[in-house]
Amino acid sequence: MKRPQNLRRPKFRIADSAQQAVGGFLLAGPFVVTGEVWDLAAGMNAIQGWLTAGLVALIGYAALYRADTGRDPEVEKEIAGIPARFVSLMIVAFGSVALLAVLFDAPDTFLVQQGVTGVEMWVTTGKAISVSAVFSVVGAATADSVF
């Protein structure tokens, strides 16, 4: 159920980032600790990794400004010409996954113990973060729109 327009906060606030973080962490957790995600990332090439990151941005923008027609990116605060709410969403989507990966020591568990080290480990970790961020951005944008 969509909140009536007159009850919605028109301005982006830090509390909105907190809501995004709750949704982002909630959906990111199961994916960042799944071996299949890390296997998938290991098999992806760099272009696929970047395209996945782009998909995260596309999903995020569509969820914030196309699915929720009560928001207008033109009237929101901006950071370097980009709506602050969208910047926050991208930081939450990728940041929550990266933080969980480090906290759970996922790169060591899924890569180092299999002999993947150095630059290849970091590149694969980046691709795994992008894959998991696809799900994180859905949770973060949903939490932002619902609450």
Q: What is the pLDDT of residues 110-122, one digit of tens each?
A: 998 888 899 999 9
Cβ(140)–Cβ(23) below 8 Å: yes
Residue type, 95: G
29-to-56, 68, 69, 85, 118 alpha-carbon distances in Å:
16, 25, 29, 22, 25
- Report the distance separating Cα 91 and Cα 27, nearest Å: 15
Per domain, the residue ranges of the chain are: 14-146
**pLDDT above 90 as % of the chain:** 53
Name the nearest CA neighbour of 42 among 145, 100, 125. Answer: 125
Q: Name the average pLDDT for the chain.
A: 87
pLDDT of residue 129: 97
> pTM of this prediction?
0.84
Q: What are phi and psi of 101, to 5 degrees?
A: -60, -40
Residues in the chain predicted with pLDDT less than 50, given as ranges, are 1, 3, 6-8
Cβ(42)–Cβ(123) below 8 Å: no
